[in-house]
Structure 1
Amino acid sequence: MAARPELQDQIRQLPHRPGVYKYFGDEDSIIYVGKAIDLRKRVSSYFTKQDHNKKTQQLVKNIRRIEFTIVDSESDAFLLENNLIKQHQPKYNILLKDGKTYPYLLLTNERFPRLIPTRNKIAGQGRYYGPYANVTGMNLLLELIRALYPLRTCTYNLSPQNIEAGKFKVCLEYHLGNCKGPCEGHQDEETYSQYIQQIRQILNGDLRLPKQYFRERMTQAAQEQQYELAHQFKLKLDKLDEFQSKSTIVNASLSNIDVFSIVSNEKSAFISYLKVMNGSIVLTQSVEVQKKLDEPDEEILAPLIMQMRQEFESESKEILTNLPVPSLPLPGVSIAQPQIGDKRKLIELGLKNVLYLRKEKESMNDRSKDLNEVRIMETIRKDLRLTELPKHIECFDNSNFQGDNPVAAMVCFRNAKPSKKDYRHYHIKTVIGPNDFDSMYEVVTRRYRRLVDEGASLPQLVIVDGGKGQLSMAVKALKDLNLWGQMAVIGIAKRLEEIYVPNDPLPLYIDKKSESLRLFQRMRDEVHRFGITFHRSRRDAATLKTELTDVKGLGPVTADKLLTKFKSVKKIKELTEAQLIEEVGKAKARILLNYFSQQEEPQQS
């Protein structure tokens, strides 16, 4: 697609340097931001390549102005592109949905710290862990920690002075055993701090310290014959083992790794993000993004890696992906595509997640289409007061040109969708001249006599393109076949979109916005297109045959032979004398050449 003259001037001024380009559309708004190692080559490709998909072609059509910024390196270009996309959110750039606030767990910096869920980060409140991709996963972790450690939940200021002054009284949580009562001095700060240290380890994905703590306490209690206490510690250890068994994917030596996997279809890309610490997955997130242009997977994944790491505050120094991505501006971070071993297992786990997500989304789309089709058929059933759902509908139309070459067509819709293998053309055999009524009677009779003879299922609804006249002939045909009452029949008039039903002189007016009427109009347009195409091919064939058979000395057999092989008179005229002789012999070839030369003489004069 050639660029407008004003854009060609701008493109010629672009340097062969790395940088970022911005496309502006109507109202001078940014519609696309891109990066390039060579600005002129990259921007020129939008206007010189011939194999762009429709979305990219639409982008190019909307470009009114181009701006660019030169940077020192591809890495700088990536960062600038990322910032500009976030700032302007251009129409044709892929971007994760904004506005979602992920939950955190806050370990407060108070004396006797609390662990509380929150969506708001306030500096100075304490240490935030997360964000977590979903509330359910965060709550499971919070429940585990509260089951293991008796943490306070009150908001009292537990300073030594306040506790010594006896300002506070223990609450119900103390009596339930969920809190040890530090507000009245029943729990010392050193023991509480040990809990907090272990909780920090769990929140960081490392279960070794808390497991060691409970194992030692269990052993000590057993040695002291405090079997009930030992059992309590064993239950806590079991909870940690159960939690770890659900989380550990490979071995514990794998620590602080981000794993990204991507698959896509024509419309969307699906990305999985796994955060691994100490052999355990501490965060999972799978997302779908709509493709805006025909971007390859690696170009989609690269900016989303940056964005998801930023959203989930990842500081991992190792990234694993299922395909190579362009270099990312992440100093000190390695990016690899492992092919074997435990790291490859992580990639395969991510792929399983996104493949499942893709299948689920595609299945949802299919179910949505099915529900949409059922809704349309149900609307038709109600509008026409049918006794059953019209899963099979057929529509008829006649076509002739000034009474010549009369033909008819039938289109079939199943479950509110075209079933093109069931479309049929008909040559009118029993009617002479332009008689739409008798033609309708003939084709309806032929269609349903054949279905009955073949034992095929009949439609629930028959539509004829026309008013009361065509409808009455369709009804007559069904009665003569003893099929009347086995299917509903309506006629649709062209001018006012009137629906006629048998035995009612007044038309039925369906709401113009109704899905029923839209489907009827679609079927009428489809049968009209299908019939007109067939009629034109017949008419053209008849015209061609007449032209050749009018040539004196050339019979219909020879004319048919030539037209069957070369399809048109134009192509026959382009044959050389030797080619014509080979096809029809010297005598007939000479007749055709003389005829064609006589046809050309008036045009030359």
Structure 2
Amino acid sequence: TSSEREALILEASLIKQYQPPYNALLKDDRSYPYLAVTLSETFPRLLLVRRPRKRTGALLFGPYTGAREARHLQQMVVDTFRLRRCVRLPKTACLYYHLKVCSAPCIGAIDAAQYGKDVAAAVRVLQGHGEEIRPALEAEMRSSAERQEFERAAHLRDALAGLDALSERQHVVGPGRGRVDVLALAYPRDPSTLRVAIGRLRVEDGEVRGTDPHLLSISATDPPDPTEVWRQFLGQFYGSGWELPARIYLAGAVSEGLAPILDELFESRGIPVQSRPTGRYAALGRLAERLARATVDQVTSGPAPREVLLALMSLLQLPTIPQRIEGIDISILQGTDAVGSLVVFDHGVPRRSEYRRYRIRSVRGTDDFASVAEVVGRRFRRQLAEEQPLPDLLLIDGGAGQLAAAEAALTALGLADRVPAIGLAKREEEVYLPDRTQPLRPSPNLPAMLLLRAVRDEAHRFAVTYHRTRRRIRLRGEMDRALLDRPDGPS
């Protein structure tokens, strides 16, 4: 499994199924709690349930390893989105409406369409997409403080803090019959891992009953062919015809070259195969992807093989082998809390003790290019002053504009000829070089590209983490100042 929580839940499920004689724990008929959104109702509620199969017409999230955690999450979501709590709609508003934690559909204070939008936002939070609605909650908190609605502002502040606990996505589950296999393929992020992983979930009666990760070797110089990887795995695992499932789901797209293989192995035997699963199996597809990702990431990592560094040197036409790579990224939201990050990779291995964080000082508003120039200038001025080693390659998270800003900063320091720089754009994984008008578009799964993507993604993660820290500190300070400015002082 991909987390401690999922491992505990799977263990409990297997113990209840097989009843091992020497394991006295977890044999009772109790199950972990779920949260259920009653979509069959005109004004849905969010309930805590322990027997999900009895909840028809409900969208389920979980399971959760503790009832206290589930109840806290339920209360936070219900209060934040003002969902109703009553079993039957009364004719008059209840106390929760007067406390401003219920939108009171019972008295027509909100129509079904607007209430449905609140339910949809609550579902997004339960699915782990809380960051998408964070800006709206922050804006409402500020406006509440400006209107001197301090209780509402404080409630939203606490709700924003609670969103941090929702970073891990919860998996939608549902009833089902028979055995289903859910498969996903993951490529390595670590360039020293010349293998790919396939994660397999065994689902019986709508519940995950087992996981089975597999590793397959790939070439160090050629991009892995997904069709060949799937052909090799499916033939080895299902070719004998033993224990075939009733249905197979493949997370992600399937190439045309794989269709004859699927027809021979499964369609001829009456076993349907579906790619890009939807509905409740979409979440299981994501879980299989996480299993595959965790499997390939857990393979022992070490220095990038020399052939990978040589391939990167050839790809970028570098003067030396890129043993030391530094990556820079900028994180900013709505012109505030702009920060920069710098990460260091030595022979493909991150050197976290050499990471650096930067608060943008000279830029006002949103100017990604000027922010890149500031971070590059500050970084290399210090390296020159302290006579530190220069990197063999500088990677900028961005496209041509960000790269041009970095090149200008290096030129001002007289380092443009000593520090090769490139830009790596996220959308198409395009590589921008200073002396080329058009970007390179190599296969994103080349081991050399995997190394560049690992540096870029680590710089992005480090920048976003620092940005969130700075933003949280600022928002808490604004809230505290607003409370102190109240005529009667803080309560």
TM-score of the aligned structures, taking structure 1 as reference length: 0.34
More helix by share: 1
> Which structure has more RCO (C-alpha within 8 Å, separation ≥ 6)?
2
Larger radius of gyration: 1
With the length of structure 2 as denominator, give the TM-score of the two structures.
0.41
